[in-house]
Amino acid sequence: MPVSTSLDPRGVATITIDNAAKLNTLNGRVMHDLITEGEALMQQPDLRAVVLRGAGGRAFIAGADITEMAKLDADSARGFITLVHQSCDMFRRMPVPVIARIQGYVLGAGLEVAASCDMRVASADARFGMPEVRVGIPSVVEAALLPRLIGWGRTRRLLLTGETIDAARALAWGLVEEVTTVDALDGAIDHLLSAILGAGPRAVRMQKALIGAWEDLPLAAAISQGIDSFVACWETEEPARMMQSFLDRKAH
């Protein structure tokens, strides 16, 4: 299987794209499997977080499969790029936080997938780029997320030159949240997971949904939806239970 999923007792799922011989590039089969695995995870009521990674140490996802793209025409191109979009959008729709575990190359569609995750932790050997113009196509679909992460000027630089940047520059630009050594990569991700798992499960789900809404709503509407979300919190016992626990700890 080009995509595998595991779910641990904490509710943390790991999705692994296993196309290491081709640097985990996305072809039709890989994307169909990725979407199927992700959609199945969304139905898990006890899911708390997702870690996305590529197999091997050479690449997270080194883009879409050029061999497959070279055979496209004006009719088949729409279906292929729609699959790329669906592969990215699935992580944005995932009801819990998604952490991209990045090692090696993160190129083209791979960077779009990473940008669709909630957080990105990279090893120092990671290399990032949007080289589509170098093979005769523009960067599209979730490349539209990049200006929000790194600004318009840096996005233009990546997309119009097709150049590759290293992990240190990606961190300075805000493209990733953390850079560490390869050996410390899993520990850095576990640190984020511990923080997520220590929060209220329903609150985290509500927060992710609200952040997604903020991306699309005007400011006044975003604030109004936040008020509605706050009120909706009190439909369960989670706030009262967790606040009382906080007060009990403070008292001692």
How would DSSP label each residue in 53-101?
EESSSSEEE--B-HHHHTT--TTHHHHHHHHHHHHHHHHHH-SS-EEEE
CA diameter of the chain = 68
Task: Kindly state the tokens that stand for 135.
Answer: 């093979």
From 17, 153, 147, select the one nearest 87 (Cα to Cα).
17
Query: Domain 3-197 classified CATH 3.90.226.10?
Result: yes
What burial class does residue 206 get, using C-beta atoms within 10 Å of its C-beta: 0-12 exposed, 13-18 middle, 19+ buried? Answer: middle
Give pLDDT, residue 81.
98
> How is residue 129 annotated by DSSP?
E
The answer to whether the beta carbons of residues 86 and 111 sit under 8 Å apart is: no
Q: 58 exposed, middle or buried (CB, 10 Å; 0-12, 13-18, 19+)?
A: middle
Q: Which residues pair with 164 in a beta bridge?
A: 129
The answer to whether 116 touches 91, Cβ cutoff 8 Å, is yes
- Tell me the C-alpha to C-alpha distance, in Å, between residue 51 and each of 20, 87, 156: 17, 15, 29
Confidence of residue 32 (pLDDT cuts 50, 70, 90): very high
Looking at residue 1, its pLDDT comes to: 79
Domain boundaries, the chain: 3-197, 201-251
Fold agreement between 3-197 and 201-251: no
pLDDT tens digits for range 202-244: 999 999 999 999 999 999 999 999 999 999 999 999 999 999 9
Q: Phi/psi at 62 (nearest 5 deg)?
A: -90, 35
pLDDT in tens, 106-160: 999 999 999 999 999 999 999 999 999 999 999 999 999 999 999 999 999 999 9
What does pLDDT average to over the chain?
A: 97
Q: For residue 118, which amino acid is it?
A: D
Tens digits of per-residue pLDDT, 40-94? Answer: 999 999 999 999 999 999 999 999 999 999 999 999 999 999 999 999 999 999 9
* CATH C-level class of 201-251: mainly alpha
CB 110 within 8 A of CB 26: yes
Q: How far is CA 209 from the centre of its chain?
A: 14
What single letter denotes the amino acid at residue 243? M
Q: How far is CA 204 from CA 100, 138, 178, in A?
A: 18, 35, 21
Predicted TM-score (pTM) of this structure: 0.96
Task: Report the alpha-carbon distance of residue 81 to residue 179 in Å, rounded.
Answer: 30
